[in-house]
């Protein structure tokens, strides 16, 4: 029988292309928690716990995933900066793909 576990997805910006080399969100916790079936979590985290995405302008994002221990409480998140689509892509495709990249794949480009 499948159990439900909580998975914490954390957003970081390892490469920042700004005039001063800093992200305005630096030092804050950006995460979201999703409840998932344990079998889905096993499949998701079988090969990696981290996914990256890079834009052409020099910025990059990293999403890391970890299982939240039963009964553990998380600190307060500062949101996810509009990057929820990255977690959705990871869960649907196993990698981070933007909408235009998905359309290109579907069109065989």
Rounded alpha-carbon distances, angstroms, from residue 23 to 50, 86, 94: 20, 19, 27
Look up the pTM and report it. 0.88
| pLDDT in the model for residue 75 | 87
Query: In this model, does residue 19 exceed pLDDT 90?
Result: no
Contacts of 56 (CB under 8 A, 6+ apart): none
Q: Cα(79)–Cα(29) distance, rounded to whole angstroms?
A: 8
Mean of the pLDDT values across residues 78-104? 94
| pLDDT in the model for residue 90 | 96
Phi first, then psi, for residue 68 (nearest 5°) are -85, 120
């Amino acid at each position: 029988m499948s159990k439900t576990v909580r998975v914490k997805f954390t957003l970081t910006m390892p490469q920042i292309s700004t005039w001063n080399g800093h992200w305005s969100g630096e030092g804050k916790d950006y995460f979201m928690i999703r409840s998932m079936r344990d079998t889905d979590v096993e499949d998701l985290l079988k090969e990696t716990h981290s996914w990256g995405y890079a834009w052409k302008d020099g910025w990059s994002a990293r999403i890391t995933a970890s299982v939240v221990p039963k009964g553990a409480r998380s600190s307060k998140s500062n949101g996810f900066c509009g990057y929820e689509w990255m977690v959705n892509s990871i869960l649907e495709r196993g990698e981070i793909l933007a909408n235009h990249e998905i359309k290109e794949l579907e069109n065989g480009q």
